[in-house]
Structure 1
């Protein structure tokens, strides 16, 4: 079985956003679990933990996302409309910048996953906003554009492999 090939992320420099819409050959419930349950997010994105929360993301839950060779990035669940939309706020600096230990409201971005059922699967759109508040918006937009390409391709591979 071959993995679904999806278009790349798109940067809107005027709106300071990164957007990517992909199709996944998996039911909405499976995709929802993969973008809201820390143990599943950890299998395709970064090691994700929410303090004092077990199971799926809840509004206000605080946690971290960690990648190899990097400090934990603080994250907070901003909004949940199960099983169609979930938003996370994070302070994810470009490589080389110090990682804050808590959410900085003035210098953070929000990424939102929106899920829609489609024939033979789920359409997932991620939109990350707020890059106008970062120290280097152009570099951060490009870094996150590439990041969403790689991370969401891993999500498709995970869900379409039957895992």
Structure 2
């Protein structure tokens, strides 16, 4: 995989209203279900702390960057937990939501891979894992948002 890729993008249409999808993307009880499979914590304000925890990968620290309900939510998340978040150890994830009738179009853009302070092999691995991850995670989000319990 190329190591000069800076951005991963994925867009999906979810058969659920914008307000429901916004809550699913920004509230800890939902993030810790469809995205981080072992829980999430979030202080939903710019500069707020975000922690995403996976059974397989452990906890990853983040910082909320943008909260513009119900259309834009962005955060930076670190490669390794326990370090202050910088451009060299984190990427920026931006969710953009827009209503399409009774459905919601959700776009995710993760950027900053070329600024990561890792070697080429590490960068390529991170890009590949996150590209595959966004495919799977957004499919999980769609199923979760379209279910009656969300």
Q: Secondary structure at the match of 2:31?
A: helix
Long gaps (5+) in structure 1: 1-10, 93-98
Q: How far is the alpha carbon of 1:40 from its aligned partner?
A: 1.1
Measured in 1, the distance between the counterparts of 2:81 and 2:41 equals 16
CA deviation map 1:7-60 (0-9, x unaligned): xxxx9965510000000000000000001111111110011113xx4xxx2111
Which residue number in structure 2 is paired with residue 48 of structure 1? 40
Determine which structure has the larger helix proportion and give its number.
Answer: 2
For structure 1, which segment, 23-32 or 134-143, has the greater mean C-alpha deviation from structure 2 after superposition? 134-143
For residues 5-154 of structure 1, the aligned pairs below 5 Å read 16-46=6-36, 47-50=39-42, 53=43, 57-92=44-79, 99-105=80-86, 106-134=88-116, 135=118, 136-154=122-140
Measured in 1, the distance between the counterparts of 2:3 and 2:70 equals 30
CA deviation map 1:60-106 (0-9, x unaligned): 111310000332100110011111001010013xxxxxx23133312
Q: How far is the alpha carbon of 1:141 from its aligned partner?
A: 1.3
Pairwise CA RMSD? 1.8
What TM-score do the two structures reach when normalised by structure 2?
0.87
Runs of at least 4 residues off by over 6 Å: none
Q: Secondary structure at the match of 2:58?
A: coil
What TM-score do the two structures reach when normalised by structure 1?
0.80
Measured in 1, the distance between the counterparts of 2:27 and 2:81 equals 24
Measured in 2, the distance between the counterparts of 1:81 and 1:12 equals 33
Long gaps (5+) in structure 2: none
Conserved 8 A contact 1:27-1:121: yes
